[in-house]
Each structure stands twice: as C-alpha cells, then as structure tokens.
Amino acid sequence: MTKRKPFPVPVRVYYSCKKCPAYCCTYEEIEVTQRDIARLAKHFGLTAKQASERFTKPDEENKVRVLRHQKDTVYKTACRFLDTKTRRCTVYEARPGVCRKYPDNVHCGYYEFLRFERSQQDDPEYVALT
C-alpha cells in the first residue's frame, strides 16, 4: 500500500498584488543568490558572469549582490525588471528567490500600512505615495 501525501491546504491571503503599485520592487536592496543570477542568465541567454555584471551590483557593505534599479515615476527608484507602466515584473518566471517568497505571510506590510493610513485619514481612497 502506497502512502498518500496530504492534500495541500490553500492559504488565504489578505492582499492582492494586482492592486499594488509594486511597492516591494522598490526596496533599496533586493538580494540575489548565485542561483538567482544563474536563473536570470538562462532566461536572457547570458553567462552567469554577464548576468551578474548587467543586472546586479554589490550591496553597500560589499557582502552580497543586489538587483540594480531604474528611475521610477511612482517611487524614487525600482527594480530594473519592473515594467514602470504596468507595475508588473518583466522576468516573473525567472524572478529571484526573495521575490518568489515575498511576503511569506498572509498579510502584506504595504497593505497593512495603507489600511492604517486610510483609517487615520478617514478616507477609503487615500494612498500615501511619498
């Protein structure tokens, strides 16, 4: 008799990335691993070294690699892979592990922040973008 694997229980989340202006893509340091760089290299048909040089830079302490940024109209800067018009990831299938795991919770910090701001302003449409 074969042992059955338990049926995965769906996790209910309390946010929708489709409604977000890509706040997590604007974090100053989006850390990437060698595996992430290899995934991006394969996606673009580059060597890992080429991908690392083109898409990443050392963090401020020169300990890890982080994704490069581009200018953004909503926030000061954003991940270089963010489509600034659609607010969606252009390399979703090849995105780094940290992006795959985010927010690793049923709540998103950005949504919690917006909910707090809206309650303080007594305005259900209020969004603080600065």
The closest of 117, 38, 121, 6 to 129, measured between CA atoms, is: 117
Q: Is residue 51 part of a domain?
A: yes
The closest of 109, 80, 83, 110 to 96, measured between CA atoms, is: 80
Q: Is residue 68 part of a domain?
A: yes
| CA 38/CA 21 separation, integer angstroms | 28
Please write the tens of the pLDDT for every residue from 55-110: 999 998 889 999 999 999 989 999 999 999 999 999 999 999 999 888 777 777 77
Helix, strand, or coil (residue 89) = strand
Q: Which structural domain, as residue segments, surrounds residue 74?
A: 22-102
Give 88's strand partners: 83
Of the CA atoms within 13 Å of residue 75, those in its CB half-sphere come to 20
Please write the tens of the pLDDT for every residue from 60-70: 888 999 999 99
Domain count, the chain: 1
